[in-house]
Amino acid sequence: MFVRIGGATAGMATTSLVVNSDNVLLDDIWAWRADHGSGVGWTANTADTGVIVNGDNGTAYGLFVEHYQKYQVIWNGNNGTDIFFQNEMPYDVPSQAAWMEAPGVDGWAAFKVADTVTNFSGYGLGSYSFFNQGVNIYAAHAFEVPTSLPAGSLHDLLTVFLNGSGGILNVVNDIGGSATSANPDTPVTVVSYP
């Protein structure tokens, strides 16, 4: 499934894909808020979230979710599994004040597992930054998950600073170190969490 918000012409959305059913298999999803083309810009092709999974026992193989302006993915369902996640945070954030999850929390996590989730497994999850507006923009973390998940719920997470200004300060929650201009093109990894 392919979703494109803007790029060919102007377009807007709040959420691109919402899964409300249990036992759903998502295979090769690319949800993309366009970063180039016609009708592209922070206020031109607005889109909050790419994918929201509300159902339990969902499995995703190959989630590609890019450039959304808030969370890229919100996983609310219990007993979910994601195998492979590729993400680029929005390139065109005009200021840090325009991109804050909460007061004192810079940016938005690329992948948010809801606080109410008790069981989730993730394998091979990556998020990249290229904030290209010439100002330092930071995301506090790329992945935000409950610390109460069973040990070893997440496997092989990474962040990478591609170019631009600012970067990602932690891989998952407050763990993993930063991916900024100090270590460009270098994966910052967390092998297992929590």
- From 66, 88, 101, 144, the catalytic residue: 88
- The per-residue pLDDT for 52 is 98
Owner of token pair 């932690």? 170
Owner of token pair 């295979």? 27
SS3 71: coil
Of 47, 50, 54, the residue nearest 21 (C-alpha) = 54
- The per-residue pLDDT for 164 is 97
Of 113, 106, 76, 87, the residue nearest 33 (C-alpha) = 87
Domain boundaries in the chain? 2-193
Rounded to whole angstroms, how far apart are CA atoms 17 and 14?
Answer: 10
Q: Is 43 left (phi over 0), alpha (psi -120 to 50) or beta?
A: alpha
pLDDT (tens, 9 = 90+) of the chain, 194 residues, equals 999 999 988 899 999 999 999 999 999 999 999 999 988 999 999 999 999 999 999 999 999 999 999 999 999 999 999 999 999 999 999 999 999 999 999 999 999 999 999 999 999 999 999 999 999 999 999 999 999 999 999 999 999 999 999 999 999 999 999 999 999 999 999 999 99
pTM of this structure:
0.97
Q: What sign for the dihedral angle of Cα 4, 117, 141, 87?
A: negative
- The per-residue pLDDT for 77 is 98
Of 104, 106, 105, 103, the residue nearest 93 (C-alpha) = 106
Q: Say whether 66 is catalytic.
A: no
Rounded to whole angstroms, how far apart are CA atoms 27 and 81?
Answer: 12
Bond into 194 cis (ω within 30): yes
Owner of token pair 């790329």? 142
Rounded to whole angstroms, how far apart are CA atoms 14 and 61?
Answer: 23
